[in-house]
């Protein structure tokens, strides 16, 4: 059983929200890049997330580029799984490749902090 707090985001969270393009120079330093995960969507996320927590999205989570760093830094931040109504195909594939569970489900009943 997985347990953790939900961090809820809306629809169309892109790989730019997950890994800001201005920080791609850090892609060879993943621990440093992970300190900035989702900061454009929620500047406080990285300070509040704890081991085992969940990222909860709406429709089309992870759209945009094929940045394989996006699911990897989510996982490195301690997130145990991403729950979303739908996920961009390339993000889904990259998440599988790095071992980040993706659960496609109705996220309307999940609130931020649940």
| 94 burial via Cβ count (<10 Å: 0-12, 13-18, 19+) | buried
What residues does each domain of the chain span?
6-104
pTM of the model: 0.92
In what helix (H) or strand (E) does residue 84 lie, and over which residues does it extend? strand 81-84
Q: Answer yes or no: is pLDDT of 38 > 80.
A: yes
Q: Answer yes or no: is pLDDT of 24 > 90.
A: no
% the chain with pLDDT above 70: 100
The CATH class that applies to domain 6-104 reads alpha beta
Taking alpha carbons only, the member of 5, 2, 82 closest to residue 38 is 82
Determine the number of helices (DSSP H) and then strands (DSSP E) in the chain: 5, 4
* 55-102 tens-digit pLDDT: 999 999 999 887 788 999 999 999 999 999 999 999 999 999 999 999
């Amino acid at each position: 059983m997985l347990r953790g707090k939900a961090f809820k985001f809306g629809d169309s969270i892109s790989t730019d929200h997950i890994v800001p393009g201005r920080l791609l120079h850090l892609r060879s330093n993943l621990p440093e890049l992970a300190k900035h995960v989702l900061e454009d969507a929620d500047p406080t996320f990285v300070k509040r997330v704890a081991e085992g927590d969940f990222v909860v999205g709406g429709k089309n989570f992870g759209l945009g580029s094929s940045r394989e760093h996006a699911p990897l830094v989510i996982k490195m931040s301690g997130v145990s799984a991403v729950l979303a109504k739908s996920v961009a195909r390339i993000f889904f594939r990259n998440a599988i490749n790095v071992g980040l569970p993706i659960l496609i489900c109705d996220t309307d009943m999940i609130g931020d902090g649940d």
